[in-house]
Structure 1
């Protein structure tokens, strides 16, 4: 494969490292932004919620249009809008305007998803699963780097805004590089689509999908996002308030979780390239996620929570969401952008509803109750993964007969 394809893929991945930074940059600079926007933590939280709204509002439309107009305009558009988010958010002093910029960040995420996921599948038609899963590694790397940068800036008494400017600068350089690159022609895209369908056990060129399959994938997109999103938001509090860990140790759980996620991405990619199929990996990850959640709710000790942070990060946040998309895209070999829009729209709805549900549980029950709720969600994920794996295997058998 030409080196240019790998370089193009690296540039696409790099956008997601910055996206990982963008997801956390508001919360990690919350105190400074409270002062700048003349608000409190609740006001900043409202701005954070705008990212999910912006992503949901545009994702399906952007995914569908990327099948018609090509991937490049949406990748470049996502980069440009993300730059506006970092710079605009940094210099605004109005909470309402900050909410608008947060909405733009969510929209930028949608544009990047609509262009990047299909493009990677087209660049690597023989191994779309590993190519897509690697996105998660770059997101995790951004989330790993940002806390270090924020800590260094604080220790040196430097302006917190340098982290915003650095992220925008990386995007600016990447924008220029990608702008100068050519786009693959329609013939190349069609060939990649045919290879994707063939390698995934789908009927090449078919745009139809059975209603039970569409429903199961959509529900899985919601459940998979909810399962690890809930843990990422409440893991530190669970360690401190339920497992009895001290504050510093509970914060370290997030680093352990991120480390598990990164390890899961690379080992999953290796397994998919050598001896496992996407549907098999999907089933393994969902079962292990459920079992680890069940154990940590039954025995919430500091040891079990620490081990859980790595294991759950490995299986639940190590690319299982992307695996589901790879399988769904095989059902839409010539409309991968549309498949991306459908699948991640369900995940965006999860980002809306899960915080509301968990806030109600926290007020009326406990943080342990939140994790018990996640056990139920993970159990539903196992059922859906079993159905998806069965249908995928059945379709492959029928295709080969």
Structure 2
């Protein structure tokens, strides 16, 4: 019997964090939730709807601040403490946003949620990799699967809240309660001891010293920025476009199509990458995302919004960031930890900057910006694909 099998229930509890996180990250993108929050803040739901995008941007800033420190803390304090801290911080952030009397209180709550996300990533993923070894790829894919599962059930939760007169912001509040429950289970669950290498852990700054970056590595880092911007802008802003521009009366259907596309992409991409290199997906997926965004932009129909949501869930949120990370690790094997950390930092910068900008733009302008960013990401990926054989030759040398 596998000696790690006794930890499988623990892995399930750890992944539950991502299921709840899927609900937490998706809920602020729902048009009905945006209107409820803006009303709670005393704003105008037509003029001030962009405030929610500004609040969402704070999560990227919080993640950016904590990310360089969360990994070393996970190694020093242990996975259990790191994961529990992430779950507790997420609970606090959900309570603050749900009961926020002003946009600024919600902004601080979102900032805390970004910090919580960093602690979860640096605690859950290493721990589950240790439990599921040598199936490390499965350990990473499951995080995306559980997030998508949470986003898939979100429309049903919102539907219940609407019919039961439950109060929309209470959905956010009880998401925080769910994080507290998971945190309790984490404290109870046994976790394997982290493997010690005997080597002194270097900080990110120490790893960066002496590292030479090529134009291709900068290109892959840029893809970390563009692919994050593409799916974040769609997730948090597309429903406003559907409601305000395309005349949709029930925008939660877009969330359902989006989550279904993401779940399908996880399965299909896992199969495809067994036969072709991730770098090829790195070009094809953003290309189709770009075409989809412009199709929705020009069609302006509810039907196209739903179709676009499914396609964006598949091609924008279905693993491009993970494929970029896999590609950069193949091309630069000597600096895996450093380059991966930098891509994730680029991803966090992307979320903060583009969502801050989106909060000040019209729904049509946001969608147009999304298409342009996806197009830039496609061109960068094309360049990386062209250079791929030469880069592999350099790695072998």
1:160-199, aligned counterparts within 5 Å?
Answer: 163-164=171-172, 166-179=174-187, 180-187=189-196
Query: Compared with structure 1, are the counterparts of its residues 143 and 178 closer, same or farther at alpha carbon in structure 2 (3 Å cutoff)?
Result: same
Query: Compared with structure 1, are the counterparts of its residues 260 and 238 closer, same or farther at alpha carbon in structure 2 (3 Å cutoff)?
Result: same
Q: Deviations over 1:92-146 (max 9, x none)?
A: 6566544333321121112212333444555556554454233233223222323
1:220 aligns with: 223
1:80-229, aligned counterparts within 5 Å?
Answer: 80-90=88-98, 93=101, 96-121=104-129, 123=131, 128-158=136-166, 163-164=171-172, 166-179=174-187, 180-187=189-196, 210-229=213-232
What count of residue pairs does the alignment treat as equivalent? 377
1:253 aligns with: 254
Q: Deviations over 1:206-236 (max 9, x none)?
A: x956343442232111100111222334433
Query: Compared with structure 1, are the counterparts of its residues 399 and 347 closer, same or farther at alpha carbon in structure 2 (3 Å cutoff)?
Result: closer
> Is 1:60 paired with 2:84?
no
Query: Compared with structure 1, are the counterparts of its residues 389 and 75 closer, same or farther at alpha carbon in structure 2 (3 Å cutoff)?
Result: farther
Pairwise CA distance, 1:78:
0.7
Contact 1:17 1:138 in 2 (8 A): yes
Q: Secondary structure at the match of 1:282?
A: helix
Paired residue for 1:78, among 64, 72, 86?
A: 86
Contact 2:63 2:115 in 1 (8 A): yes
Contact 2:243 2:249 in 1 (8 A): no
TM-score, with normalisation over the residues of structure 1? 0.76
Query: Compared with structure 1, are the counterparts of its residues 276 and 65 closer, same or farther at alpha carbon in structure 2 (3 Å cutoff)?
Result: farther
Q: Deviations over 1:2-40 (max 9, x none)?
A: 434544443332211211222244565455555655566
- Which protein has the bigger helix share? 1
Q: Distance in 2 between matches of 1:335 and 1:399?
A: 13
RMSD between aligned alpha carbons? 3.8
Q: Distance in 1 between matches of 2:155 and 2:147?
A: 13
Q: Deviations over 1:132-187 (max 9, x none)?
A: 23323322322232332233133223355653454334333432333332334324
Contact 2:224 2:343 in 1 (8 A): yes
1:1-400, aligned counterparts within 5 Å?
Answer: 2-4=4-6, 6-25=8-27, 28-30=32-34, 33=37, 42=48, 45=52, 47-63=55-71, 65-66=73-74, 71-90=79-98, 93=101, 96-121=104-129, 123=131, 128-158=136-166, 163-164=171-172, 166-179=174-187, 180-187=189-196, 210-239=213-242, 245-248=246-249, 251-272=252-273, 274-297=274-297, 304-329=304-329, 331=332, 336=337, 339-358=339-358, 362=362, 367=364, 370-389=366-385, 394=390, 396-397=392-393
Pairwise CA distance, 1:324:
1.8
Q: Distance in 2 between matches of 1:123 and 1:213?
A: 34
Pairwise CA distance, 1:302:
5.5
Q: Distance in 2 between matches of 1:92 and 1:317?
A: 29
Contact 1:134 1:266 in 2 (8 A): no
Q: Distance in 1 between matches of 2:197 and 2:336?
A: 14
Q: Secondary structure at the match of 1:379?
A: helix
Contact 1:129 1:323 in 2 (8 A): no
